[in-house]
Every structure is written in structure tokens, then in C-alpha cells.
Amino acid sequence: MKIDIIAGARPNFMKIAPIIKAIREQQSKGSALEFRLVHTGQHYDKAMSGRFFEEVSIPEPDINLEVGSGTQAEQTGSIMVRYERVLLDQRCDLCLVVGDVTSTMACSIAAKKLNIKVAHVEGGIRSFDITLPEEVNRLVTDVLTDYFFTTSEVANQNLLKAGVSANAIFFVGNTMIDTLLANRARLAPPAFWNDLNLVANNFFVVTLHRPSNVDSVDKLTSLLSEITGGAAGLPVVFPVHPRTRKTLQGASTSWPNLHTVDPMGYLEFNYLVSKAKGVITDSGGVTEEATVLDIPCLTLRNSTERPETVTTGTNELIGTDPKRIRPAMDKVMGGQWKKGAIPEKWDGRAAIRIVEILEKLSVN
């Protein structure tokens, strides 16, 4: 079976790495699975893309669609047109997409319109907030998906409620966590660890990139004021996503305990998270990693598509009102944050389970 593995944006790379590794292991035992790695080019800076290929040993993409940035429709359209050309030139038997970015949705549409089966890794998760572009991507992708590889029982239930046949749902665990567990021993301090005099359990890490938090300079400024205030003088390390950088350049306030840095490498970023007093974020993936690393996590969003990080893990939904940040940070500072546990099947074996299932599928 010929599989196209699609990746386009930062969180996709951590999700595909263990799947590729597992396929290669099967190939070395004589498996007939073949894959072609398609990078859409949605993220293209070395710090948002190329670096992760080196860090977590992903092979060079076979094809790069080089779509670059654009509006939602521009990006969707470009990816569809360019991926369709690839498929018309050489079809695959299965298009495997991961996560919820625009590349995920656009490639699913292009494949399905050519009657190619679609597999969705991380299928079934829902924020139930249709104002978020990712929710549109999830809904559209899942309507087109033939094989759902899910990360949680909640995702399974969402799919069943939507009328998906139980035979199409495979509860395998979380490939992003496969990558974390596989690399845990390789996590390493960044060069600025000593420069900033960072001490374990005595600093915060922040990541923010959701349009509703970072596209307005006033909103971003008030979030950062509350976060730096809540840290009560402790350093706050803020690797700045390119979307956020544009807004931050227009901010007139500065905060002495805020240390902005470029988007970080995976091994150094997760080292920081693993040593932090707490993480403040609007990322999806970071809430999962903080849960597994057992670090208090404050999510600056009103909804999450990953409820298990709250019900089982260390994550709490704080919302986007800046006034709600300090009381939550006070709890972290006072050592009163809840203890978490590891969600079911987040055991480092999700990709192995996926590939075992792929071996048994008969799609061509």
C-alpha cells in the first residue's frame, strides 16, 4: 500500500515522526507499506519547520508544495491545487493526515475528490467552537475520513455521536506523546539557560499564537502584563511564534522579567517545560506535553478539544480574560495546583498501533 503522509505546520512534525519510524521498522521486516512524505510548506522558517526534521529524525520530504502563508482560503486553495497535481501525476492508496491545521483539511479534500481513502491521526477531537479555524478543519476532515486514529475515549464518543461506524475508529493513543517519550532523555537546556540564570521550578514558560490572543496589540499587552505580574519577579520565558512577533513589534510596553526568544527547538523547549514552575499557553500540543511532564498548565482559551488534559492531566482552562490569570498563577506559586495523571494509552506506542492497523487495511 502506498501512503502519502502529510505535514505542513509545526505540531504536525512531532506527530508524523514516530509513524515514519514505525513504518520503516516494518519495512525492514519485509512489509509492503510504502510512503511518500508531502510537506505543504504552510510553515517554512527553519525555526518552525526544518529544524524539527533534524531534531526528531524525520527524512527530507519527497515533495514540498511550498504554499507559504496566506489567508485561510488562499492557503486552502493553494494546497488543494498543488496536492491534486501531485496525485494526478502519481496516485497514492491512502492519504494520511494528522492534527487540525489547514494543510490537514486541504489535503483530505484533494485526496477524497480523487476517491482516495483518508486516514486521520487525532481524528474526532472537538472544541465545539466553530469560530476557531481548527474546528472547521477538524469537522471537514472528519467528514471525509475513512479511518480514524484517535487519542481519547472522548474523541471516540464524538465520532460515534456524529454517526461514524465503530469499525472505522481505532483508539491508538497520542503520537505527539510518542515523540516526547522517545526523546525525553535527549531534552537539553537552551544556551540562554545560564545567561538568564534560570533555576528549575523558578520560572514560567509562555507560548501564545491563537489569533484571538495575539492579533491585537492591546490584548497581547494586557495578557503579558498579567502573566509577568503573576510571576512576581520570576523569569517568564516566551518563545515567540512568528504570528505573535508581528504584533509584539507594535507593543510599547516592556516587562523586566519577560524574556522573549525566537521559536525554540523541540528538545530545548520541552526541557524548559519539564523544569518550569508552570506553563501558560494557548497551544493544543503543549497542554498534552505539560500533562505528561507533570507541570502545571494554564490554558488561555475558552475551550479545549483535548478535555483529557483537564480531567486527567495538569491543565486548566483559564479563559482569555486577563483578570483570570493572576488567581490561577497564585495557585501555582503557592504550590496548590492539582496533580495530574497520564491519559489512557499515552504510552509511547500509538504509532506502532497505527502501523499495525495500516498493515491490515485493504484499501486498493
The label of the residue with cell 522517545 reads 182
Residue 283, interface with ligand UDP (CB under 6 A)? yes
Binding residue for ligand UDP (CB under 6 A) from 269, 271, 337, 346? 269
Helix ranges (DSSP H) in the chain: 10-28, 50-55, 72-89, 102-112, 133-144, 153-161, 175-183, 192-195, 211-214, 217-230, 242-248, 266-275, 285-293, 308-311, 325-333, 350-360
C-alpha cell belonging to residue 82: 498543488
For residue 180, count CB atoms less than 10 angstroms from its CB and return exposed for 0-12, middle for 13-18, buried for 19 or more: buried
Query: What residues from 117 to 136 belong to the interface with ligand UD1 (CB under 6 A)?
Result: 133-134
- Closest separation between CB of residue 48 and ligand UDP, Å? 8
Q: Which is nearer to ligand UDP, 26 or 312 (CB)?
A: 312
Q: Which does 69 bind (CB under 5 to 8 A by kind): ligand UDP, ligand UD1, none?
A: ligand UD1
C-alpha cell belonging to residue 350: 500509538
Q: Which is nearer to ligand UDP, 284 or 307 (CB)?
A: 284
Binding residue for ligand UD1 (CB under 6 A) from 4, 6, 7, 10? 10
Q: Which is nearer to ligand UD1, 25 or 66 (CB)?
A: 66
| Bridge partner list, 147 | 119
Binding residue for ligand UD1 (CB under 6 A) from 1, 48, 140, 357? 48
With contacts defined by CB under 6 A, name the span among 21-29, 84-92, 243-251, 283-291 that binds ligand UDP.
283-291
Give the residue numbers marked as catalytic. 209
Q: How far apart are CA 74 and CA 104, in angstroms?
A: 15
Q: Given the rule CB under 6 A, which residues bind ligand UDP? A: 10-11, 14, 176, 207, 239, 263-264, 266, 269-270, 283-286, 289
